[in-house]
Amino acid sequence: MQRVVIRPDNPDTRDIKMIAEKMNKGDVIIFPTDTVYAMGCIMTKKSSIERIIKISGKKEKQAKLSLICKDIKTVADFTLPYSNHIFKSMKRYLPGPYTFILNANNFVTKYFKNNKKEIGIRIPNNKIVLELMEYLDAPIISTSLNNEDVSEYFIDPEKIEDTYEHQVDYLIDGGLGEAVGSTVLDCTSGDIEVMRLGKGPVD
C-alpha cells in the first residue's frame, strides 16, 4: 500500500491525477468521504470489484456496494428511470451524506455475478472524492470501512494503514473520518423510504 496525504480542503491535483490513473488501470484504494472511509475501484474492472468483495470478507449481496457518481446528471446512465420527486430529492440532498437506493440498469448488472438489480448511489460532499471523479473513466464502486464493534479502526488513517496495508494499493489520507455512516433512502418502489438514519438529516 502507498499512503498519500491529501489536504481535504485543497487537494493537490497532481496526486489526484496520479491516483485516478492507477484506478483507471484497476487499482483498489481506500479514501475519505463525507462520512466514514471507504474502499473502492473503478466500476468497469470486474476483477477489482471481486477483490474488494474478498477484502471485505463478505459475499457480494452482503457487501452493500455503492456507486459514487460525479454528479446527478451522471446517475441516470446507471439506473432505470425514476420519478421527478426522487430527482428533486437527490438534487436537494446531493452532494451530501446520503445513499439513494435505485433500480440498476443492465450496464451496472453486467459487472456483478448475481445480476444486481439495485444499486446505492452516492455523491459525497468531499473535495477529494469530487475532484478524483473528474479524472476517472467511470464511477467508483465502493463499500464503507465500517464495523459496529471496531468502528474506530476505520476513521483513523493510521489504523486503516495497519489493517489494510497488504490488501489495497493506495490509501488517501484525508485526516480523521467520521464514525457515522450515510443516511440510506430506498427509492426502488417509486417512493422514498428511510432505511437507515445516518449523518444526513431527513425532513
Tell me the H-state helices in the chain: 13-24, 46-56, 72-75, 84-93, 106-109, 127-133, 157-164
Rg for the chain (alpha carbons), in Å?
A: 16
Q: What pLDDT is recorded for position 150?
A: 44
Domains plus CATH for the chain? 2-196 (3.90.870.10)
Rounded to an integer, what distance in angstroms lies between the CA atom of residue 175 and that of residue 178? 10
Cis peptide before 95 (omega within 30 of 0): yes
Q: What pLDDT is recorded for position 114?
A: 60
Which among 53, 98, 105 has a CA at the least distance from the CA of 74? 105
Average pLDDT over residues 33-45: 94
| Contact (CB, 8 A) for 131 and 16 | yes
Q: Identify the weakest region by mean pLDDT among 55-59, 143-147, 150-154.
A: 150-154
Which position has the grid cell 490513473?
21
